[in-house]
Amino acid sequence: MSRAERLLQLLQVLGRYRRPVSGQILADELGVSIRTLYRDIGSLQAQGAMIEGEPGIGYVMKPGFMLPPIMFRSEELDALVLGMRWVADRGDKALSAGALSTLAKIAAVLPAELCRELQESSLLVGAPLTRPAHTISPDLLRAAVRAEQKLEITYVDRSGIQSRRVVWPFALVYFDQARVLMCWCELRTGFRNFRSDRILSVEQKPERYPRRRSILLREWRKFNQVASRTILPESDSISH
C-alpha cells in the first residue's frame, strides 16, 4: 500500500468514529506501527484535515469534514486517467478539451506523490480502426438531451433509405466506431437508436418533449430486458 493510499484509508477509518479513538486502535486497524500512525496524522493535519486529539487521549475528525476529492487510490487514479484519455482521443472537440482540462485541474491540486502517479500512468488508449464522419455537431445532440428537447431529424439507414422523424433524445452512447442517439420515435411510437454519422440534418423543435429523460431511460432499460429474451436482427441494436 502506498503512503497516499494509507492516508486515504486513515481518513476513511476516522470518519467512522464519532468519539475519540486511541492511536493504538487506529494503528492496529491500519496494520501500521504507532509511530507511523502519529506521523500520518501529523501529515493529514498539515494538509488541512480537521483531526483533533493527541497521543494518550485519542483522535477524532471534526463533524462536517468531507473527504477531500483530491485523494485517490491507485485504482481510482488509473480509472480516471484512462477514462479522460479515452474521451480526449475519442470525443468530439468540446469533450476532448473538457477531458484534458479536467486532468490538468486535478493534477494541479493533487499531492505531489499522486500527481507523479497521474503523469506517469502507463494506461494508454489505442487508435480506433476508423473514425466515421459526422455531419451534425455532437454539441447540438448533447444539448438536446440535457434540455429534453424534441428534434426533427433526417436519417439514412444502412440500406440508404431516408426518413424524416420527430424524436425525443434521452441519451447519447459512445462506441469505438460510432455514436448512437437513443430516442423515443414519434413515427414508430417506440424506442429507436440512431447512429449520429447517419443523421443528415437536425431541426430543433421549440417545445420540450412531454416526459423526463430519466423516466425514458428507465423504461428503455425495462424494454431491453424484455427484448433480450427474444431474437432480434443485429441491425435493430444500432440503426433503426
Q: How long is the chain? A: 240
Angle of helix 93-109 relative to helix 138-147, nearest 10 degrees, comes to: 70
Which grid cell is 152?
426533427
* Predicted local distance difference test score (pLDDT) of residue 70: 57
* Predicted local distance difference test score (pLDDT) of residue 232: 37
Strand partners, 179: 174
Burial class of residue 229 (count of CB atoms within 10 Å of its CB; 0-12, 13-18, 19+): exposed
* Predicted local distance difference test score (pLDDT) of residue 237: 41
Which residues are within 8 A (CB) of 123 and not within 5 positions of it... i.e. 6 or more apart? 78, 81, 82, 85
Global model pTM greater than 0.75: no
The domains of the chain are located at 3-61, 74-119, 138-237
* Predicted local distance difference test score (pLDDT) of residue 5: 76
The kind and range of the H/E element at 95 are helix 93-109
Which grid cell is 157?
439507414
The pLDDT profile of the chain, 240 residues, written as one tens digit per residue, is 677 778 888 888 888 888 899 999 999 999 999 999 999 999 888 878 889 998 888 999 887 665 555 567 778 888 999 999 999 988 888 999 999 998 888 887 777 777 888 888 888 888 776 777 778 888 899 999 999 999 999 999 999 999 999 999 999 998 887 889 999 999 999 999 999 999 999 999 999 999 999 999 999 988 887 554 443 333 334 444
**Beta strand segments in the chain, E:** 51-54, 58-61, 149-156, 162-174, 179-185, 190-195, 199-208
* Predicted local distance difference test score (pLDDT) of residue 239: 42
Q: Is the CATH number 1.10.10.10 carried by domain 3-61?
A: yes
Which SS3 state, helix, strand or coil, does residue 101 take?
A: helix
